[in-house]
Amino acid sequence: MKAYREKLLQKKHEILEAYQKNKTYGMQADEDGAQDIADKATNSYTKEFLFSLSNTERDMLQQVDEALHRIDDHRFGYCVVCEDEMERKRLEAVPWAQRCVSCQEKQEQGLL
């Protein structure tokens, strides 16, 4: 459990660091005043990309936080849907996973 917590905290740190970098980079892109149309197009693509990236990171951060709460509540390692114990391999690869593989698949197919 301690190893999972450390992994999660490390992941959280990584996300926050990357998020911080993106935010700084996005602000710099905003401050570029004079630019031709080609530059503008590239820039807005970049900003859009960064925006969606940080959305993903925000979601991830939430999942990591929830996993940390589940460790505190002794619910960590159990699927939030069927409450089965999750595979150790899955938890090691994705310690913030909320669902077991079969529930995850159902979720992705829109069956949940």
State the nearest-atom distance from the C-beta of 86 to Zn ion, in Å.
8
Query: Interface residues with Zn ion (CB under 5 A)?
Result: 79, 81-82, 100, 103
Q: For Zn ion, which is the closer residue by CB, 50 or 91?
A: 91
Q: For the residues of the chain, what is the DSSP string, one character each?
A: -HHHHHHHHHHHHHHHHHHHHHHHHHHHHHH--S--HHHHHHHHHHHHHHHHHHHHHHHHHHHHHHHHHHHHTT-TTB-TTT-PBPPHHHHHH-TT--S-HHHHHHHHTT--
Q: For Zn ion, which is the closer residue by CB, 60 or 81?
A: 81
Q: For Zn ion, which is the closer residue by CB, 15 or 86?
A: 86
State the nearest-atom distance from the C-beta of 91 to Zn ion, in Å.
13
